[in-house]
Copies of this chain bind each other. A is one copy, B any other.
Amino acid sequence: MANKPIVIALDAMGGDYAPVETVKGAIQGAKVYGVAVELVGNPAVIQTELDKYDTRGLDLRIVEALDEIGMDEVPTVALRKKKNASIAVTARRVKEGHADAMVAAGSTGAALAAALFNIGRIKGVDRPAIGVALPSQRTPTLMIDGGANADCTPELLVQFARLGRAYVQGVYGIEHPKVGLLNIGSEEGKGNAFSKEAFALLKSATDLGFAGNAEGRDFFISEFDVIVCDGFSGNVALKSAEGMATLFGRLIKQELTRNIWTKLVALLAKPILEKARKHIHHEYVGGALLLGINGICIIAHGGSSALAIENAIRLAVAGVKGDVMTKMVEASRLNRDALLAVEEGEVSEISAV
């Protein structure tokens, strides 16, 4: 091979359907995107899964990590003791330069803690945040923060905006992204005390391309490329939208199964409706981004299928190809506050999803 391949480190043991779905997803990802995948976890268990498939010609590597974090353990506490938990080793593959990005399914809190401990933050970033690329009819709108920081300062939102802007520039090739602030009205002067303060600060940061207030609906149907918010509001928005989508889907199903006639129509309509549903389902979205960490980290849904893992790998590859780390590091130089080394104490404050 002339060019060094892109290498994705995958926590093969993470998520509700690991290792069956994670290994299968790794194989699909390696095949579809032509990348190397490091499968991190218990080698014997991973090998058993790999043996089920024809993996000839694929660059799949097993990396040993034998510590396990039990369901009853607090991830941030357990991670301090179990240095060889698969999620910790996965993060270190990035830190040590073996992998270009990491992918993990499962607890966002655990992944964030592992990334903070083992990779650290971008210089100038005070707190990492969860980025979520939300479905729309155009390029996705990036929400930051989706729930890592329940309490935010207005200054943090400016940092989020820089990270998000750089990410969108890299991955979607949008030179001048439209950056908005989540608020409850589009006019200046609307909102609560926090959003008014954040508005003023974002407006004064001339590097941001700040386009003013966005509203909840703008996550899904607008021209905004990035919308920044505190992690509480972001998480409320995500879960409210999820609840509505679930309800809408259930109501459609209810109507389609009402009688013989509707069931007949359902047979014809289902494959078509399924395409619409796919567009907004987490399996296809690919997962959340940990932005502000000094490496590309994708966190897939805890209930990830092989397809969800494959799409998380797609997201990781897009970040590598778009050179988002260079762009985010560069943008964060403008942050006022210098980076302090990652302090263990901070991790307990993470209020992640």
Contact = CB atoms under 8 A, between A and B. Distances in A.
**Overall SS of chain A's interface:** helix
A220 B243 contact: yes
Chain A interface residue count: which class?
35 or more
A237 B254 contact: no
Nearest to A109: B185
Contact of A239 (B190, B215, B255, B269): B215
Interface stretch (A6-14, A38-46, A270-278, A293-301): A270-278
Contact of A279 (B251, B273, B280): B251
Contacts of A236: 182, 184, 215-216, 229, 233, 236-237, 240
B252 A240 contact: no
Nearest to A258: B272
Interface string A42-53: 000000000000
Given A236-B184, A275-B255, A218 B243 contact: yes
Nearest to A147: B184
Interface in A179-212: 182, 184-185, 190-193, 195
B245 A192 contact: no
Interface string A246-287: 111011101110100010010011001101100110000000
A219 interface: yes
Contact of A216 (B235, B256, B269, B275): B235
